[in-house]
Structure 1
Amino acid sequence: MSDDVRSTATRRGGRWIEEWEPENEEFWRTRGEPIARRNLAFSILSEHIGFSVWSFWSVLVLFMGDEYGIDAAGKFFLVSTATLVGAVVRVPYTFAVARFGGRNWTVFSAAMLLLPTGAAWLVLEPGTSYTTFLLVAVLTGVGGGNFASSMTNINAFFPLRKKGWALGLNAGGGNIGVPVVQLAGLLVIATAGDGSPRVLLAAYTPLIVLATVLAWRHMDNLAPVTNDTGAARESVRDAHTWIMSFLYVGTFGSFIGYSFAFGLVLQTQFDRTPLQAASVTFLGPLLGSLVRPLGGFWADRFGGARITLVTFLGMAVATGVVIAASRAESLPVFLVGFIALFTLSGVGNGSTYKMIPGIYHAKALARGLTGERAAAYGRRLSGAAIGLIGAVGALGGLGINLAFRQSFLATGSGVRAFAAFLAFYALCSLVTWAVYLRGARRPAARAGDPRVAAGHAGEQPAYAGV
């Protein structure tokens, strides 16, 4: 390692690791894996709390009865505002990891969650202006940024062969913060009543402090992960960054958009009470979170593009079920279709994030790089791309909530919105097949197979194994 990196690490102080070579099997077995797993565990905790805070308004709107004077469209807009801000802040959060260190930024970003939690506790009561609620919804968006910095940080800790599992576990553990806060909201409504939202907010304050302290005590910074604006510019110019952003809109955008909207849809379209809505709202996000590591595992084994294509086809079918159930006003069938959408989106979340490092590693091989040089190139580009892809993907959640808002305003039903989602999933299926799978007639070579770099992968496209 160069003297520059050592001096930078020493000058910065704190828990900095100066040498990190996860693709070196000896290093990984003797030193790297225990450190990576420890950082993964506390990263998951911080990201989990961040997702819960980002999802506050999906629960808080259930507490806002007629006395608040806010209609369904206004509530969807509150949720959309939090979604939008969470998507936008993912870009700077991504590059903050390299600028300040993964451990340092995790501590800061976890502590920042106290701000929206405290603000919501102060203003959440009838008579507060809608503008004030919007401003607090803006603050809760910082919770969405934690995902991008967490994923960028963990991406650097693990070797390519473990990234699908590690990123899937990290993201799934974070995503599960959505159903957990919804379950907590259900518990508060069932015990304290739907007029006690501050109980929920008070319960999360010590958890935020705990996540902050544990990250400070047990996580590490990686000195080799330096801020690389060249990598950012290169990833922006790469077509695959935007193709994967589009696909991630379909997977994660669906997950977070449906998570925020589920309770409101049940209240508005099926006249469920807050308690009735809350009693089932958590099921979809819970299943979608739990299967995300499974999506990453399957992608490691069978290829991310193949799992992603199957996911989108399944989501299109599930959306058709939801449309039919909405027209027939069948709540049980609607719930089956909607929860299937959540589950499939979770699988797709894992498989798409596995594809990202695989794509850039394949590009490194195609350039003639090998070994650690290829791995370093892949980490550099995928780390830069993850934040942008995560930000654009989260904007899908904004689109879903705005589509629901417009559909309910125009027709009093979500059918038009679901019809648009069905067309979108069909397009995602087509893009996945055309870019990453078209022409594959036999099992794809892995991204590390030298045949890919040499252009001798038979009938398959260069990225069919990602």
Structure 2
Amino acid sequence: MTPPAPTRRSGRWIERWDPEDEGFWKSTGERIARRNLWFSVLSEHIGFSVWTLWSVLVLFMGPEYGLTPADKFLLTSVVTLVGAVVRVPYTFAVAVFGGRNWTIVSAGLLLVPTTAAFVVMEPGTSYSTFLLVGLLAGIGGGNFASSMTNINAFFPLRKKGWALGLNAGGGNIGVPVIQLIALAIIGASGGPRVLLGIYIPLIVVAAVLAALFMDNLASVKNDTGAAKDAARDAHTWIMAFLYIGTFGSFIGYSFAFGQVLTNGFGRTPLQAAYLTFIGPLLGSLIRPLGGWLADRYGGARITLWNYVGMAAATAVLVVASMQKSLPLFVSVFVVLFVLSGLGNGSTFKMIPGIFQAKALAKGLEGEAAVAHGRRLSGASMGLIGAVGALGGVGINLAFRQSFLSYGSGTGAFVAFLAYYGVCFAVTWAVYLRRPVGRIPATAATSPEKAELNYAEV
């Protein structure tokens, strides 16, 4: 029997939501979930663009601004840092205010850093002022956490890899889009205020569309206990460590790529802009594929072999950096971006699967197991996303130190290579070497499921 359509109260609230029920999903749920997904993607997309705004604004900042390469790397580092930190409160804002309501608010808040940058972006502005305004831009990084938490609640477990990958990938594309727009503006001899003037009305559009077409889920209630439980679970921090390697790489390289080309290979800002957007674009587009592959073959397996590829690509980058081979460097850097995007999708798919598996291992069944897994996976996503974004800070600081110490990015790439090796070892040891827990016989649905294997998540 097909379940009744969800009832609503004022403010576009959906009172009843059960995506795991096939009848409900086909008759009502899928249409509503997809609609919320598309407008969530739009808002998150603009958020990513604002977060990475300074990665392109520094390309406009020539000698007349009086900033050294180290100054610019520090500037982009603080932007990344704030974006990572605000992901934690943004995650829980969905439960406090509702997914639709918080999307409206978080989109509107993007006007603050964009307008502030519009005001101060000129030669003669103090470096401390640029740092302060850069800190404001960090709030754009928080939109990812609230968006992912919200969309995670809309989709059934069997669809989460695809849905979360599409949601995150559409947001990630905000990075290459703003780089492409900056390229067009630089090529037309325009100034940074033209770029900012384009984004201010787009922010307003995103907020208005969220208000018109998104919904709040009444079932996603404020639950501070979920945050505490997720923080106590070792898997939250293990996945955060792995997400540093994938998303930390993606966002860190997105901020740093243009500066590496200008400082390490002598490219002009325009020449760098022609190249910087390619990697983030492909890395964003492939993220949903990473989620789909994880749905099909298991997130742990895809993540493991993805780290093999990232380590191999980084080893080649070390050689290319030492030999100053620009064609090899750019082509392999693009490959590294693609692999980071693929890994973003596979690692985030693992999160709901892990907590669902743990719910079954506790002896929970049916809706109780689903609710337990959804509760902890939603809470953990904010923590994992925040720690993962801190990897972007580490990458920019590593490049800064490498250029100060050696005059190139080679030293930083060696450090990244070592980290990917550790991530490979952790993925294999925790999720593939042996099962971590056992499902009680009463909870097992078949003999094959009697042993909990995280390779399936």
Give the TM-score of the pair, scaled to structure 1.
0.94
Contact 1:362 1:453 in 2 (8 A): no
Contact 1:52 1:143 in 2 (8 A): yes
Instruction: Evaluate the alpha carbon distance shift between residue 246 and residue 451 of structure 1 in structure 2; reply closer, same or farther with a 3 A threshold.
Output: farther
Give the SS at the match of 2:183.
Answer: helix
- Amino acid in structure 2 at the alignment position of 1:53: V
Q: Does residue 208 of structure 1 match 2:203?
A: yes
2:183 — aligned with what?
186
Aligned to 2:293: 298
Partner of 1:256: 251
Q: Is the 8 A contact 2:321 2:329 kept in 1?
A: yes
**Deviation of the 1:454 alpha carbon:** 8.1
2:455 counterpart SS class: coil
Q: After superposition, what is the alpha-carbon deviation per residue over 1:223-251, rounded to whole angstroms, capped at 9, x for unaligned?
A: 01001111111100000000000000000
Amino acid paired to 1:98: A
Classify 1:289/1:450 alpha carbon distance in 2 versus 1 (closer, same or farther; 3 Å). Answer: farther
Cα distance between partner residues in 1 of 2:304 and 2:331: 21
Q: d(CA) in 1 for partners of 2:17 and 2:351?
A: 21
2 CA distance for matches of 1:36 and 1:459?
Answer: 33
**Aligned counterpart, 2:318:** 323
Partner of 1:464: 455
Q: Please report how far the alpha carbon of residue 452 of structure 1 lies from its aligned counterpart in structure 2 after TM superposition.
A: 8.3
Residues 75 and 134, structure 2, Cα contact 8 Å, conserved in 1: yes
Question: Do 1:366 and 1:454's aligned partners in 2 also have CA atoms closer than 8 Å?
Answer: no
Shift in alpha-carbon separation, 1:449–1:276, aligned structure 2, 3 A: farther
* 1:77 positional shift: 0.5
Change (3 A) 1:393 1:452: farther
Contact 2:256 / 2:396 at 8 angstroms: preserved in 1? yes
Q: Match of 2:335?
A: 340
Q: Which amino acid aligns with 1:249?
A: I
Cα distance in 2 between the residues matched to 1:42 and 1:450? 43
Quote the offset at 1:112 in angstroms: 0.5
1:462 shift after superposition: 2.9
Tell me, in whole angstroms, the C-alpha distance in 2 between the residues paired with 1:257 and 1:314.
18
Instruction: Provide the secondary structure at the position in 2 that maps to 1:291.
Output: helix
What secondary structure does 2:454 align onto?
Answer: coil
Rounded Cα–Cα distance in structure 1 between residues aligned with 2:385 and 2:441: 30
Q: Does structure 1 residue 419 correspond to structure 2 residue 399?
A: no
Change (3 A) 1:232 1:453: farther
Question: Where does residue 3 of structure 2 map in the other structure?
Answer: none
The aligned residue for residue 121 of structure 1 is: 118
| 8 Å CA contact retained: 2:439, 2:452 | no
> Does the CA-based 8 Å contact 2:315-2:417 persist in structure 1?
yes
Distance in 1 (CA, whole Å) between partners of 2:283 and 2:305 is 16
CA distance in 1, matches of 2:287, 2:20: 24
What amino acid is the match of 1:127?
G
Residue 381 of structure 1 deviates from its aligned partner by 0.4
Offset at 1:459? 11
Determine the C-alpha separation between the residues in 2 that align with 1:261 and 1:286: 15
Give, as a single letter, the amino acid of the residue that structure 1 aligns with 2:12: R
Partners in 2 of 1:155 and 1:165 — Cα distance?
11
**Higher mean C-alpha displacement, 66-75 vs 365-374:** 365-374
1:281 pairs with one of 260, 276, 280: 276
CA shift at 1:337, angstroms? 1.4
Change in 2 beyond 3 A, CA 1:344/1:191: same
Q: Which amino acid letter does the alignment assign opposite residue 381 of structure 1?
A: L
2:95 is matched with which residue?
A: 98
Residue in structure 1 matching 2:356, options 356, 361, 370:
361
Name structure 2 gaps, 5 residues minimum: 1-5
1:149 paired to 2:146: yes
1:23-422 alignment runs, 5 A limit: 23-193=20-190, 196-422=191-417
Query: 1:310-331 deviations in whole A, cap 9, x for unaligned?
Result: 1111000000010000111100
- Deviations, residues 109-152 of structure 1 (Å, cap 9, x unaligned): 00001110000000000000000000000000010000000000
| Distance of 2:50 and 2:441 partners within structure 1 | 45
Quote the sequence identity (%).
Answer: 69
Going from structure 1 to structure 2, the CA distance change for 1:390 and 1:68 (only over 3 Å counts) comes to: same
Distance 2:205 2:441 in 1: 46
d(CA) in 1 for partners of 2:44, 2:104? 11
Deviations 1:378-412 (A, max 9, x none): 11000000000000000000000000000001111
Does the 8 Å contact 1:452/1:462 carry over to 2? no
Deviations 1:138-187 (A, max 9, x none): 00001000000000000000000000000000000000000000000000
Unmatched 5+ residue regions in structure 1? 1-5
Residue type at the aligned position of 2:325: S
* Equivalent pairs, count: 452
Which 4+ residue blocks in structure 1 deviate beyond 2 angstroms? Answer: 447-462
Per-residue deviation at 1:463? 1.5
1:420 is displaced (CA, Å) by 0.2
CA contact (8 A) 1:300 1:354 kept: yes
The letter of the residue matching 1:465 is E
Give, in angstroms, the shift of residue 370 of structure 1: 1.3
1:426-445 matched pairs, under 5 angstroms: 426-439=421-434
| Contact 1:451–1:457 (CA under 8 A) maintained in structure 2 | no
Q: Does the aligned pair in 2 maintain the 1:303–1:464 contact within 8 Å?
A: yes
State whether residues 183 and 270 of structure 2, in contact with CA within 8 Å, keep that contact through their aligned partners in structure 1. yes
Distance 1:375 1:459, change over 3 A: closer
Q: CA deviation at 1:457?
A: 5.0
Task: Say which SS state the counterpart of residue 413 (structure 1) adopts.
Answer: coil
AA matched with 2:41: I
Change (3 A) 1:448 1:177: farther
Distance change >3 Å, CA 419–CA 455, structure 1 → 2: farther
State whether residues 236 and 385 of structure 1, in contact with CA within 8 Å, keep that contact through their aligned partners in structure 2. yes
Distance 1:249 1:157, change over 3 A: same
Distance 1:35 1:454 in 2: 31
Alignment partner, residue 3 of structure 1: none
Contact 2:362 2:440 (C-alpha < 8 Å) held by counterparts: no
Check whether the contact 1:253–1:394 (CA below 8 A) recurs between aligned residues.
yes
In 1, the alpha carbon distance for the partners of 2:434 and 2:98 equals 42
